[in-house]
Each structure stands twice: as structure tokens, then as C-alpha cells.
Chains A and B, each alone.
Chain A
Amino acid sequence: SQKIEQNSEALNIQEGKTATLTCNYTNYSPAYLQWYRQDPGRGPVFLLLIRENEKEKRKERLKVTFDTTLKQSLFHITASQPADSATYLCALLKAAGNKLTFGGGTRVLVKP
């Protein structure tokens, strides 16, 4: 069966350090992989999209890598700030259709 796994344990990190989150998937051939931020009681907010033929994408302090051989994406928040504290979700999208399948999310807590 198809699985998308993110570390369910919360990631506690000191302000200024780099937070690295992992998204692993099995039995899936996504065309796109997306990362979202979700704050408590709110809907997800789109952060970054990376395509299957791309290795890396950056946006300000965020960096995403996509390894289709390892079936893994890494999400990095550099120079982390307390305002980055949230749950981060990865989501996969197949080439046919535009249905997103979400991972369970990883909660990040940046301590000042």
C-alpha cells in the first residue's frame, strides 16, 4: 500500500539552528512533492513545490530536496526563528489528476 511517512515526534530546535525534516514514501511515483505549514486550528499554507526532475528548490530560508531513488524529500529551515514553530506537512501529487496525499506532519518547536 502507498505510504507517506514523516517523523511523528516533535522536533525541538534552538533558535538560529537549521531544522531538517524528512518525508519518505513507498509504492508511489509522484510527479510533484509539496511542503505545507499548518498552525493549530488553521488550514495548511503552501510553502514549496518540487518536481520529480528537480533535485533542490529554495525559497528564502527554506530548502527542499527530492531524491526519487531514495523516495525521500528533506525540508530544511535555516536560521530558524520561534515564528517557524508549526507543523510541517509533505504532500505528494501524481502526474494524473491533482489529488494530494498528505503525510502525518512533523511538529517543529523553535526555542529562543
Chain B
Amino acid sequence: GAVVSQHPSWVICKSGTSVKIECRSLDFQATTMFWYRQFPKQSLMLMATSNEGSKATYEQGVEKDKFLINHASLTLSTLTVTSAHPEDSSFYICSASTGSPDEQFFGPGTRLTVL
């Protein structure tokens, strides 16, 4: 149980285009989903927290107009990287939580490469 999927697993796009990444909790309902970014040989950095049906809370330094997050249902959250640039190339990982602090399940990640 407690499986989180991400789609796509990797994506290559041209600079200036937008990319949408999906995060799904497959066998449980996630009241909260988190989006992280991980650059090579660095740790995961939290970008934003989203609760179903409400606006996402972004971490300091993360542009909310560039990284659009939608958490429309208890099993799906999407992250859209708008007008992507090469510096946005990174490994994006989502996690889902039922609300209990000791239960946060991570997706397999999405590798974004912006040319």
C-alpha cells in the first residue's frame, strides 16, 4: 500500500515551453501533497505544500507564478513549470501525506531537462 506515482518519469522540452507533472496517490487519499526539487548531488528542497481544494503554500524563494500547483482531488496534484528555462532542469519529486506527520510517501520523481 501507500504508492505514489508520478508522470512523466522524464521529460525534455525546449526553453520557453510549459511542462506539467502529475503526482497521484494510488491507494490512499492524500490530504496534503508536497513538491520538492533536487539538483544533482544535492538534497531535496521543498518547493510548496498543497492541500486539496486550497491554494498551495510556497517556500521562500519559489515563484508561485512560475511553478503552478493544482491539487484538485485527494489523489492528484499537478505541478506546471511555466516558461521553462535551462536552470529549471532538475529532478522533481512529490510526496503525499494522509495528514499524519509520520506518514509521507514519495513518488519516483520526474527528471526535467530544458534545452
Is A98 a contact of B44 with CB atoms below 8 Å? no
Is B44 a contact of A32 with CB atoms below 8 Å? no
Q: Which residue of the partner chain A has the closest CB to B10?
A: A41
Top 4 A-B residue pairs of the complex, sorted by shortest distance between their CB atoms: A43-B106, A98-B101, A102-B43, A104-B43
Digitize B86-98: 1 where CB-to-A-CB distance is under 8 Å, 0 elsewhere.
Answer: 0000010101010
Give Cα distance in the complex from A98 to B98, angstroms: 10
Which of A44-52, A64-72, A76-84 has 4 or more CB atoms under 8 Å from chain B? A44-52
List A contacts of B42 (CB < 8 A). Answer: 104
Give Cα distance in the complex from A99 to B45, angstroms: 11
Size bracket, chain A contacts: 20 to 34
Give Cα distance in the complex from A42 to B106, angstroms: 10
**Contacting residue for A43 out of B99, B101, B109, CB 8 A:** B109
Binding site for B on A (CB under 8 A): 31-32, 34, 36, 41-46, 49, 89, 93, 95, 98-105
Give Cα distance in the complex from A103 to B97, angstroms: 20
Binding site for A on B (CB under 8 A): 4, 6, 32, 34, 42-46, 49, 91, 93, 95, 97, 99-102, 104-109, 111
**Contacting residue for A98 out of B4, B91, B104, B109, CB 8 A:** B104
CB-defined A-B contacts under 8 Å, sample of 10: A36-B106, A43-B4, A43-B95, A43-B107, A46-B104, A98-B100, A100-B46, A102-B44, A104-B42, A104-B43
Given A34-B102, A41-B109, A89-B44, 17 other A-B contacts at CB below 8 A?
A31-B101, A36-B106, A41-B91, A43-B95, A43-B107, A43-B108, A43-B109, A45-B106, A46-B105, A49-B102, A93-B102, A98-B99, A98-B104, A99-B34, A100-B104, A102-B44, A104-B42
**Contacting residue for A89 out of B43, B99, B100, B109, CB 8 A:** B43
Give Cα distance in the complex from A46 to B95, angstroms: 11
**Contacting residue for A105 out of B32, B43, B99, B108, CB 8 A:** B43
List B contacts of A45 (CB < 8 A). Answer: 106
Give Cα distance in the complex from A57 to B107, angstroms: 25
Q: Which residue of the partner chain B has the closest CB to A95?
A: B101
Q: Which residue of the partner chain B has the closest CB to A44?
A: B106
